[in-house]
């Protein structure tokens, strides 16, 4: 039996008075976090939530997120984290697809989330923060103190603990079912690699609803009894201020965050000398950014590689003394990674032996929720096929050289062109649309749409951008629109995107 919430219960038992959550306004100890999440578990159970039920959680990096997250798990329910940047159609799809019975959201999102929840048949909608009367029930109703500790619901190690949505190659979101054992080991193993200690303070600027922030920051920190310094929204000033104020020792980020920190003027207001290590993931960090950051801040950046389906970690540079600069590291304990060619044959080590990265081990998901065919395709031949291209050197270090052919990574977020193209094609004056990623110095890639208008129409680029903004999360809509008379097509009628970049 294994309930992932045991990581909080154990840390709270060992050090109840140690800080668990740090914000600008408050400090929450491990004992308090354990008690408040117990209250959430008791309240959810009283509302009829049972083990295996899905509870959607749509919150930014505020204290209510870990309180609700571990409370949901304690009740034996499955957490369905939702991106706070999603628009109404995206929220509706994920609520319906997951079968969520209850939604916990934020006051700033209640207009969209509350409406969609009602339409999805979700009677119980709670919101953190001040909300208009009748818009939702206050989150405080879930945290009324209980007299006794809530007994962790019995769950099996291979039971689903979270359903985290990630886009597939078709652009349709798929819910990766992450198990209790998978998430537990993906908290335990990486934390041991960079020797996380109870007196560490980890900056939580990565969104906790994202698998990187949820697993590699929050769960790792809680597993080892460290303090989490929550940054609700990333900005260089916010992160540097939190590092200074809380004497943070660890910063997890994506390459665009490191670039932004590097570009910041950085003056005597800030003191980052407490940092001992930085973790980079989500995309390969440019060599010049890594070199300049380490030189300026005097702290090593350890790169890792993973994805939603692997609960964040496949490979990792184990420590500052045992790393290969510009590599994403070696497979962590219990994980295998190989490079295969298109025929499914294993390739030898070598820079000229580029192929698809495949992996297997405890770290892979149970499957895609309600999508057995997609699950079977992902786990061909007993290995999880990442769709990413790379090579291994003679010492087993992995180097990623490319992503899936059509995948765009904008500021650390995955954007699949098909989803954006579908939004564009809903516009009545669009005949054909193709979306590609173009180089961007700040974000890595920017989203560009190449559009063919319907005959006799003269839609403006600004109108199409506004059209997409209403339907897609803020990081997904195109910033650049180019109009053409036609698009290059293959013999099968598919857009030849290589000719567009």
What is the tens place of the pLDDT at every residue in 204-246? 999 999 999 999 999 999 999 999 999 999 999 999 999 999 9
> Residue 165 carries which DSSP code?
E
The pair of structure tokens assigned to 361 is 């081990």
CA dist., res. 160 & res. 366, Å (int): 7
Higher pLDDT, 309 or 322: 309
- pLDDT for residue 492: 37
What mean pLDDT do residues 128-136 have?
86
Model confidence pLDDT, tens digit, residues 248-280: 999 999 888 898 898 888 888 999 999 999 999
Contact in structure between 44 and 102 (CB atoms under 8 Å)? yes
Q: What are phi and psi of 219, to 5 degrees?
A: -65, -40
Higher pLDDT, 422 or 45: 45
Model confidence pLDDT, tens digit, residues 335-386: 999 999 989 999 999 999 988 999 999 999 999 999 999 999 999 989 999 9
Model confidence pLDDT, tens digit, residues 181-205: 999 999 999 999 888 999 999 999 9
Does residue 493 carry a pLDDT above 50? no
- pLDDT for residue 403: 61
- When pLDDT is cut at 50, 70 and 90, the band that residue 171 belongs to is low
Task: Provide CB contacts within 8 A for 235, sequence distance 6+.
Answer: 260
| Equal CATH topology for 6-14+27-189 and 329-402 | no
Higher pLDDT, 201 or 408: 201
Q: What residue ranges do the domains of the chain occupy? A: 6-14+27-189, 329-402, 408-499
Does residue 141 carry a pLDDT above 80? yes
- pLDDT for residue 390: 87
- pLDDT for residue 489: 65
Does residue 491 carry a pLDDT above 60? no
- pLDDT for residue 170: 46
Positive or negative: CA dihedral 315, 317, 319, 323: positive
pTM of the model: 0.84
- When pLDDT is cut at 50, 70 and 90, the band that residue 65 belongs to is very high
- pLDDT for residue 8: 98
- When pLDDT is cut at 50, 70 and 90, the band that residue 487 belongs to is confident
In this structure, CATH architecture of domain 329-402: Roll (2.30)
Does residue 402 carry a pLDDT above 70? no
What mean pLDDT do residues 403-428 have?
81
Give SS3 for 147: coil
Least confident of 68-72, 226-230, 292-296: 292-296
Q: What is the CATH number of domain 6-14+27-189?
A: 3.40.50.980
Mean pLDDT of the chain: 91
Higher pLDDT, 117 or 182: 182
Least confident of 6-20, 314-328, 349-363: 314-328
Higher pLDDT, 226 or 323: 226
Task: Provide CB contacts within 8 A for 29, sequence distance 6+.
Answer: 16, 17, 18, 19, 20
> Residue 145 carries which DSSP code?
-
- pLDDT for residue 490: 46
State the DSSP H helix or E strand holding residue 71, giving kind and residue range, or none if neither.
Answer: helix 64-74
What mean pLDDT do residues 127-133 have?
89
Give SS3 for 408: strand
The matching CATH number, chosen from 3.30.300.30, 3.40.50.300, 1.10.10.10, 3.40.1550.10, for 408-499 is 3.30.300.30
- pLDDT for residue 393: 96
- pLDDT for residue 405: 65
Contact in structure between 368 and 374 (CB atoms under 8 Å)? yes
- pLDDT for residue 63: 98
- pLDDT for residue 168: 44
Model confidence pLDDT, tens digit, residues 467-482: 999 999 999 999 999 9
Model confidence pLDDT, tens digit, residues 101-113: 999 999 988 888 8
State the DSSP H helix or E strand holding residue 241, giving kind and residue range, or none if neither.
Answer: helix 236-246
What mean pLDDT do residues 41-51 have?
96
Does residue 484 carry a pLDDT above 70? yes
The closest of 107, 156, 284, 281 to 211, measured between CA atoms, is 281
């Amino acid at each position: 039996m294994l309930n992932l919430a045991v990581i909080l219960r154990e840390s709270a038992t060992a050090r109840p008075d140690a800080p668990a959550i740090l914000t600008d306004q408050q400090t929450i100890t491990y004992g308090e976090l354990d008690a408040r999440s117990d209250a959430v578990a008791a309240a959810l159970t009283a509302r009829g939530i049972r083990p295996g039920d899905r509870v959607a959680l749509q919150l930014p990096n505020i204290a209510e997120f870990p309180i609700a997250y571990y409370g949901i798990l304690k009740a034996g329910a499955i957490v369905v984290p939702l991106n706070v940047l999603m628009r109404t159609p995206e929220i509706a799809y994920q609520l319906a697809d997951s079968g969520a019975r209850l939604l916990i959201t934020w006051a700033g999102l209640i207009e969209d989330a509350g409406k969609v929840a009602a339409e999805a048949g979700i009677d119980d909608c709670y919101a953190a923060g001040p909300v208009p009367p009748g818009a939702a029930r206050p989150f405080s109703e879930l945290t009324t103190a209980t007299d006794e500790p809530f007994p962790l619901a019995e769950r099996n190690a291979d039971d689903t603990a979270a359903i985290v949505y990630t886009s597939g190659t078709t652009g349709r979101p798929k819910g990766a079912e992450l198990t209790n054992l998978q998430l537990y080991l993906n908290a335990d193993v990486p934390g041991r690699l960079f020797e996380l200690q109870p007196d560490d303070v980890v900056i939580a600027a990565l969104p906790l609803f994202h698998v990187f922030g949820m697993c590699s920051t929050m769960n790792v920190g809680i597993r080892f009894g460290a303090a989490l310094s929550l940054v609700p929204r990333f900005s260089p000033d916010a992160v540097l201020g939190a590092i200074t104020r809380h004497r943070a020792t660890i910063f997890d980020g994506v390459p665009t965050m490191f670039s932004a920190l590097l570009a910041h003027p950085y003056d005597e207001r800030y003191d980052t000398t407490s940092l001992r290590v930085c973790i980079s993931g989500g995309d390969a960090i440019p060599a010049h950014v890594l070199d300049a950051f380490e030189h300026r801040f005097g702290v090593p950046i350890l790169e890792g590689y993973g994805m939603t389906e692997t609960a964040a970690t496949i490979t990792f540079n184990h420590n500052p003394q045992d790393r290969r600069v510009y590599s994403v590291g070696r497979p962590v304990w219990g994980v295998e990674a190989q490079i295969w060619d298109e025929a499914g044959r294993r390739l030898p080590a070598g820079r000229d032996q580029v192929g698809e990265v495949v992996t297997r081990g405890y770290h892979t998901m149970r499957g895609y929720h309600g999508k057995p065919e997609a699950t079977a395709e992902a786990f061909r031949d007993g290995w999880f096929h990442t769709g990413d291209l790379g090579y291994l050197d003679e010492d087993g270090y992995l180097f990623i050289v490319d992503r899936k052919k059509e995948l765009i990574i904008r500021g650390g977020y995955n954007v699949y062109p098909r989803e954006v193209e579908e939004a564009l094609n809903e516009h009545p004056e669009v005949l054909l649309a193709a979306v590609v990623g173009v180089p961007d110095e700040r974000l890595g890639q920017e989203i560009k749409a190449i559009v063919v208008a319907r005959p006799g129409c003269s839609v403006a680029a600004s109108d199409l951008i506004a059209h997409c903004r209403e339907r897609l999360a803020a990081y997904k809509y195109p910033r650049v629109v180019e109009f053409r008379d036609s698009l290059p097509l293959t013999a099968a009628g598919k857009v030849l995107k290589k000719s567009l970049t």
